[in-house]
Amino acid sequence: MVTQKYHHGDLKNALIKAGIEILSSDGVGGLSLRKVAQRAGVSHSAPYAHFADKQALIAAISTEGYRRLYERLLSVNRNYSGDPLRQLVEAAWVYTRFALDDPAHFKITLSGIIEKEKDYPAFVEMSQRSFSVVAEIVRACQQEGILEPGDTDAVAVSVWSLVHGFVSLLLEGQISHTVTERMSTRELLIFTLNRMVEKPIPSEWVAEEGNI
Amino acid sequence: MVTQKYHHGDLKNALIKAGIEILSSDGVGGLSLRKVAQRAGVSHSAPYAHFADKQALIAAISTEGYRRLYERLLSVNRNYSGDPLRQLVEAAWVYTRFALDDPAHFKITLSGIIEKEKDYPAFVEMSQRSFSVVAEIVRACQQEGILEPGDTDAVAVSVWSLVHGFVSLLLEGQISHTVTERMSTRELLIFTLNRMVEKPIPSEWVAEEGNI
DNA sequence: GACGATATCTTGACAATGTCAAGATTTTCT
DNA sequence: AGAAAATCTTGACATTGTCAAGATATCGTC
């Protein structure tokens, strides 16, 4: 049976959900096992029946973060099928929106708080799946001359680096105010993507929020 | 007086130094105030004479990290004066080396662990100074047609995003092994920079470690 | 349906940690 | 020299991650 109904019902997922909620309200520093347990309505040691330690819970929360990102990336690909440039822009935008909407969840998922990712295969798999969506977009862009040809995985790393770096600097407040005062976040993202792309991104897209 | 000589001599800097050493040996998770105090040879509460709380010590350690980065960036600019493309490549390499040589110090400095940077003016200033070095390189690159013209600060954000993202993904182990197995880190970095630059980076530079 | 094995959860405890208060000691200033 | 300030120690407390022992519910087998 997948969803076991013991005392609580589905405590494992309840703990993940509680953790995400606490991240949203109290930030990364406010996430404690005991608070998570309390919010789920169980005693402070109950989580140990489902997670080996705090790292394991964080890994599960991160995996869920990646899963949500992955689903939105797939959704973008579906909604803009046949338009790789638009897929690229909206995939980057989805990434940015995740970070802005839920900064703490984004950080814990993608800012390397997990020390040994190797120990959490589910996390590694979701991360690889997300990367492969990006690689697929990159491949399509290469076929249309939007991105330079060559090693698709390497180009995908470059593109992913650009987007991830942009979002990271954004979250850390490290982007100069002289820039953010003049351009919206979406405008700056598109400006940045334009540095890497062979054909210009239509300027109308700045105003159009992509459909997810 | 700047360097006061009281009981210990210069405990404030000793604590920063001890913190950096602990980061290097025990990682970000292993950094505790009490361990720092012990390593500096003082009691567990002594740091409170110099730092308001743990965040303040972390801010000081981060500021020192930025200072080191800043100095190396300046050094790059000096050593490759008049060669903006090379300055760009080696500045990016300096950034990468900092992350690889001292991952925990890099993370705590640049991965947004400080919640409210605003509260630490010294940190903000070093961060802005470092950015201005990059902006200076970008401006020189624009003048030589190496980077597209236009808003220099915005282009600098794009370039900085690319490098920062690359390094972050590298540290987090999120770069596909299909890529890292075929290319060295420096090669991949230069490959990535080549996606954003109008003139190709000489392939000989891959083998040449830049002088810092 | 009964029963042993297993999964789940609670209670209680402990060490590590961040932080504060009170006091001792040293330096600085007048 | 003596007062004031800075520096450091000791002791305490709440929070937290983690483990051990035990209670309770569920599952698989007969």
pLDDT tens string A82-113: 999 999 999 999 999 999 999 999 999 998 76
Contact B107/A112, CB-based, under 8 Å? yes
pLDDT confidence band for A2 (50 / 70 / 90): very low
Per-residue pLDDT, B212: 66
Query: Smallest Cα–Cα separation from B112: which of A93, A186, A106, A50?
Result: A106
Q: Give the Å distances, CA to CA, from B152 to B114, B123, B149.
A: 28, 23, 7
Rounded CA separation A60/A19 (Å):
10
Q: Which residue has the higher pLDDT, A48 or A119?
A: A48
Which residue's entry shows tokens 């862009």?
A: A141
Which residues on chain A are in Cβ contact (under 8 Å) with B172?
110-112, 117
Mutation for testing the A interface, residue in B58, B69, B146, B161 having most A CBs under 10 Å? B161
Residues of chain B with CATH 1.10.10.60: 6-51
Q: Burial-class residue A79 by CB neighbours within 10 Å (0-12, 13-18, 19+).
A: middle
Q: Give the Å distances, CA to CA, from B74 to A87, A196, B77, B136, B154.
A: 39, 27, 5, 11, 21
CB of A113 closer than 8 Å to CB of A131: no
Contact B112/A168, CB-based, under 8 Å? yes
Rg (CA), chain B: 19
Stretch A44-69: mean pLDDT: 96
How far does B164 lie from chain A, in Å, by closest CA? 5
Per-residue pLDDT, B160: 95
Q: Give the Å distances, CA to CA, from A193 to A182, A206, B48, B114.
A: 17, 12, 46, 28
Per-residue pLDDT, A7: 64
Which residues on chain A are in Cβ contact (under 8 Å) with B161?
162, 165-166, 168-169, 192
Contact B154/A112, CB-based, under 8 Å? no
Rounded CA separation B134/B92 (Å):
9
Residues of chain A with CATH 1.10.357.10: 63-206
Q: Is A176 touching B (CB cutoff 8 A)?
A: yes
Paired tokens of A153: 């995985």
Q: State the architecture of A7-51 in CATH terms.
A: Orthogonal Bundle (1.10)
pLDDT confidence band for A114 (50 / 70 / 90): low
The residue in chain B having the minimum alpha-carbon distance to the alpha carbon of residue A164 is B165
Residues of chain A with CATH 1.10.10.60: 7-51
CB of B130 closer than 8 Å to CB of B95: no
- Cα A97 to chain centroid distance, Å, stands at 9
How far does A39 lie from chain B, in Å, by closest CA? 24
How far, in Å, is the CA of A46 from the C1' of nucleotide C10? Answer: 8
Rounded CA separation B133/A180 (Å):
19
Long-range contacts formed by B175-178: CB under 8 A, 24+ apart: B175/A157, B176/A128, B176/A131, B176/A153, B176/A156, B176/A157, B178/A153
B112 closest CB neighbour out of A107, A178, A182: A107
Residue ranges in chain B modelled with pLDDT below 70:
1-8, 113-117, 210-212
Instruction: Look at residue A163 and tell me whether its pLDDT is greater than 60.
Output: yes
The fold adopted by the segment(s) B6-51 is Arc Repressor Mutant, subunit A (1.10.10)
Q: Is B187 touching A (CB cutoff 8 A)?
A: no
Burial B64-91 (b: 16+ CB within 10 A, else e): bbbbbbbebbebbbeebeeebbbbbbbb
Stretch A42-64: mean pLDDT: 96
What spatial distance separates the first Cα and last Cα of chain B, rounded to whole Å?
33
Per-residue pLDDT, A208: 79
Q: State the architecture of B63-206 in CATH terms.
A: Orthogonal Bundle (1.10)
The residue in chain A having the minimum alpha-carbon distance to the alpha carbon of residue B185 is A154
Rounded CA separation A74/A90 (Å):
11
DSSP state of B11: H
Burial A154-184 (b: 16+ CB within 10 A, else e): bbbbbbbbbbbbbbbbbbbebbbeebbeebe
B169 closest CB neighbour out of A128, A164, A166: A164
